[in-house]
Amino acid sequence: MTDTQNPQPEPQHVVGDEVNGHRLTQTESGTLEWLPVPGAGFGAGQPTSPEPTEHSQPPKGRTLPVWAWIVIGVVAVLTVIGGIGAIGNANRSDTAAPTPSVATTRAQPAEAKKPEPSAEPEMVTIGDYTGQTAEYAAAALKSLGLEASYATAGDATVNGTVPAAGTVVEAGTAVTIDATEKPKLTLAQQNALKTAGDYIAYMPFSRQGLIDQMTSEYGSGYDVETATWAVDSLAIDYNAQAAKAAQQYLDLTGFSRDGLFEQLTSEYGGQYTPEQANAGLAAVGY
């Protein structure tokens, strides 16, 4: 039997093609095989079982490459695993414990805080700074916790305050100091003031006796107006001056009370007023 009698199937054969009494058939395992066609003759005498030769063997069925089967196997395994996982997730979803519901409660309003009682304000009494300098009065008021102000020079003499001395006010209250600035002194006044102070420091004088001493041609020689201004500008305690004079007279010689009173009040003596003389006598024991 020649090749023309048993041709090899070409790649273009498909399932169902018949060649030399054989039909290309796909088996249950998926392979392609040439199987004899029942009742088909073979050759001229149509034998029922032709003896196959090398060229009369039915073509072998087509099989897929090894790598294709590996890919198919991997896909099948993954598909199975995925199905198992989906079933497990479904079971877990069905058996998962329900999430407990959170009870909604209405927030209670915060209790309003009661205001704390305010502290009692600190109260202070304004002092009397009349005759002091404005600077001194301001420092004293500030030490009490008050606000002090004045519109004069610091060495101005205080006349009073607003609010007035003795007023009880809250700490921090503003107090205005009323003060009078000292007049600008002439050179004669400055010297007369110094001279009057020196005389009083040296020996006792009555007011008139000191003016006479300052205006005498044998004394300082000031005019009466300047001398009087200087004497009156000094804060002199004439009762104390009379007591010093009485003691000096008694240190020189003995005097009766009347004699000593006459000496203290005489225009040729101390020139003290009767009231000042009596104060001086009482101071020395008369």
Q: What digits encode the pLDDT tens for the residues 192-238?
A: 999 999 999 999 999 999 999 999 988 899 999 999 999 999 999 99
Tell me the helix, strand and coil percentages in the chain, rounded to 5: 40, 15, 50
3-state secondary structure of 150: strand
Task: Indicate the pLDDT class of residue 49, thresholds 50, 70 and 90.
Answer: very low
Question: Across residues 138-157, what is the average pLDDT?
Answer: 94
Instruction: Of 143, 140, 182, 142, give the one whose Cα is nearest residue 159.
Output: 182
Q: How confident is the model at residue 38 (pLDDT cuts 50, 70, 90)?
A: confident
Contact 15/32 with Cβ under 8 angstroms?
Answer: yes
Give the mean pLDDT of 3-21.
64
Count of residues in the chain: 286
Distance of CA 85 to the CA centre of its chain: 62
Enter the tokens of residue 248.
């000096």
Q: What is the mean pLDDT of residues 48-58?
A: 45
Q: Which of 2-11, 28-37, 85-94, 159-168 has the lowest mean pLDDT?
A: 2-11
Q: What is the pLDDT of residue 81?
A: 74
**pLDDT at residue 180, as a whole number:** 93
User: b vs e for 134-144, b when ≥16 Cβ sit within 10 Å of the residue's Cβ?
Assistant: bbebbeebeeb
Stretch 262-282: mean pLDDT? 95
Whole-structure pTM over 0.75, yes or no? no
Q: What is the distance between the alpha carbons of residues 128 and 273, in angstroms, rounded to a whole number? A: 32
| Res 71 pLDDT > 60 | yes
**Which range, of 60-74, 122-136, 265-279, averages the lowest pLDDT?**
60-74
Determine the pLDDT at residue 72.
Answer: 79
pLDDT (0 to 100) of residue 178: 96
Give the residues across from 18 on adjacent strands. Answer: 23
Q: Which of 11, 34, 31, 14 is nearest to 23 (CA)?
A: 34
SS3 at position 125: strand
Give φ, ψ of 193 to 5 degrees: -65, -40
Q: Tell me the H-state helices in 117-186.
A: 134-143
